[in-house]
Amino acid sequence: MSRGETHNFITMDRVVFLLLCFTPVVWCYPSGLVTDSCDNMTPNHGASAQTGSAPYTVTVGQTSFNIGDQVTVQLQGTSSFRGFLLKATAVGSQNAVGSFSGPITGAQLLTCSQKSNSAVSHTSASPKTSIQATWTADASASGTPIQFSATFVQSTRTFWVAVKSPVLTFTGESAGSSTSPAITTSTTSVNASMSISNAQCGDTKTCFSQPFNCDPSASSDCYFMSAMMLSTSNGAIHYEMTGPSNGYIAFGFSDDQIMGNDDIYICGMDSRGLPTLQHAYSTGKTTPKTISLGDVSNLTATMQNNVISCSFITTNAISTQRSISSNQNYYILFAYGPSSNGQITPHTGTFTSSDKIDFSKVQLLATKSETPAIVKAHGALMLISWMTTGSLGMIVARYLKGMARGHKMFGKDHWFVVHVPVMCVTVAATIIAFIIIFVYGQGWAGGAHPVLGCLIMILSFIQPIIAFLRCGPQHPTRYVFNWTHSLNALVIKILAVAAIFTGLELIDGSDSQWMVKTMSGFTAWECLFYVFMEAHFRWKIHTTDTIESKTTNTDNLLVVVYFLGNIAFLVALLIGIGTATVVP
């Protein structure tokens, strides 16, 4: 054999040798024989698992089980996956329990934790979007809640590890005797009932509630959340939350006091009307995105007398994208609202902690904090503008044109000299109030209040332009100006009152909402005197047959009484705004 032939022979020999050595490795994953990954559920691909939300879910056909029960498990995805590994474990353990039965389309049974048929995996690398398997509970699953975990593989370097299903509770009854749990009992815990109270708040657990320091075990109107550190080594924390709701309650961890980039736990009703726990993440003022429940154990979820409650232990690290740490301090956001067919809808109520939660310390978190001065200034300006100065300008223009008849000031009637400056002050204050709150809020804040504010700003800006372009008093189309100017002022007034009501609701943190009620009295007071003055105005027209009637002593008396009451209401509300302590 020549030297060249010898070299070629050695080269081919090495190639064949390498192929023989690595072929089992290459083909073991497409075949799904991944028993080496049974314990940690991690593929040996030489790459790291994805940390973001998985586009796959693991769902089960029931919320509790007995020995001998058969549970349907469904793997689904919004995109296809090529490989998977599914097993059931006791919560907090890696050892497989129970057994799966075949045949399963596109899948095979594996031996994990030295237990036959205790896991399911793929048989080929063909794309798939759904796998359904049947799991049977045996003695190995007795006495503990269990959870299904699945690893999904899109490609060699793209995979998600241990995507978890909801927890199934062991009921302890004989096989086949279980019934669907009633909505008034726990559906996801060993316990049949749950009692959450403010006992030990400030001693062993951090509590956050509205009203402050309320006791959920004594009051059904108490929204409550607690956190108790169980272990500093693995970051295990016991959370509780409860509150009245026909849909859901939720708490989240945030770097600030505004919704967005928050790690959230939702205790709500699923599509079957049963209480359950969800883990979610919010990216803004939109519906949070559901993510894997993660490392959650000892889960209890109940719905009793329209009060929904959840209690659970988790070692999940808190993530707001800007920070990921079990030792990081965060503000607590609490929200509640309705749900529809298991999907949460926009919350109807929310409150925020005044301080960040420090997991190394036991705290009583308060919901109250000082309202920013710029917000108070905005509210005060709008209140003065459209409940006092604006009202004065409108009353003078409508009812007091006859005052000081025959006397001029700067060549104008006295009523006009009063009306113009007062309304200019009103418009200027409205513009200032709009600008400072818009700059403070750094954009659109949502809700009815900013919409009303924008409409008021636009119409207030138009009003002086209309006045500047008016025609002379004797012009045949003067009536067009009179009606347009008057109607625009009336619309602004109505919108301003509505905006003040919605604004006071945002900053009135009292249980009685006394500022809102005071504003109702203020509005009623104005309406009453508008009726009196309009009636007197109409009477003068009919008795003197002219709109330019002289101002009478009755007019003066009505105006004086009106403004005494106006100032009293104004001062009361300004004091309320000045002492407001709820962050809007």
Return all residues near 18 (Cβ < 8 A) that are at least 6 apart: none
SS3 576: helix
CATH of 37-170, one of 3.30.300.30, 2.60.40.4060, 3.40.50.300, 3.40.50.720: 2.60.40.4060
Q: Is the pLDDT of residue 361 over 90?
A: no
Average pLDDT over residues 92-99: 85
Higher-scoring residue by pLDDT: 194, 34? 34
CA-CA-CA-CA dihedral for 42, 43, 44, 50, to nearest 10: -80
Higher-scoring residue by pLDDT: 521, 106? 521
pLDDT tens profile 233-292: 778 899 999 999 989 999 999 888 778 888 999 999 888 888 999 999 988 777 888 888
Residues in the chain: 584
The answer to pTM > 0.85 is no
CATH number belonging to domain 373-578: 1.20.120.1770
pLDDT tens profile 34-75: 777 787 888 887 788 888 888 999 999 888 888 888 899 999
Q: Is the pLDDT of residue 21 over 50?
A: no
Q: How confident is the model at residue 581 (pLDDT cuts 50, 70, 90)?
A: low
pLDDT tens profile 450-505: 888 899 999 988 888 888 888 877 788 888 888 888 898 889 999 999 999 988 88
Sheet strands side by side (includes 248-254): 289-291, 275-282, 262-269, 248-254, 331-337, 349-352
Q: Is 392 exposed, middle or buried (0-12, 13-18, 19+ CB in 10 A)?
A: buried
- Output the pLDDT for position 547: 44
Range in 437-441, 536-540, 570-574, 579-583 the model is least confident about: 579-583
Domain ranges within the chain, ordered by starting residue: 3-31, 37-170, 206-365, 373-578
Q: Is the pLDDT of residue 390 over 50?
A: yes
Average pLDDT over residues 174-197: 42
Q: Is the pLDDT of residue 78 over 80?
A: yes
Percent of the chain topping pLDDT 70: 82
Average pLDDT over residues 540-569: 72
Q: Is the pLDDT of residue 17 over 90?
A: no
pLDDT tens profile 200-216: 888 889 999 988 889 99
Range in 7-16, 97-106, 242-251, 515-524 the model is least confident about: 7-16
How far is C-alpha 526 from the chain's CA centre?
38
Range in 18-22, 72-76, 346-350 the model is least confident about: 18-22
Q: How confident is the model at residue 28 (pLDDT cuts 50, 70, 90)?
A: very low
Q: Is the pLDDT of residue 404 over 80?
A: no
- Output the pLDDT for position 176: 35
Higher-scoring residue by pLDDT: 413, 436? 436
The answer to whether the 37-170 and 206-365 domains have the same CATH topology is yes
Q: Is the pLDDT of residue 15 over 50?
A: no
- Output the pLDDT for position 584: 39
- Output the pLDDT for position 212: 82
- Output the pLDDT for position 11: 47
DSSP class of 37? G
CB 553 within 8 A of CB 559: no
Which homologous superfamily is 206-365 in? Cellobiose dehydrogenase, cytochrome domain (2.60.40.1210)
Higher-scoring residue by pLDDT: 291, 183? 291
In 3D space, the residue among 327, 328, 333 whose CA is nearest the CA of residue 351 turns out to be: 333
Higher-scoring residue by pLDDT: 302, 4? 302
Average pLDDT over residues 131-146: 85
SS3 132: strand
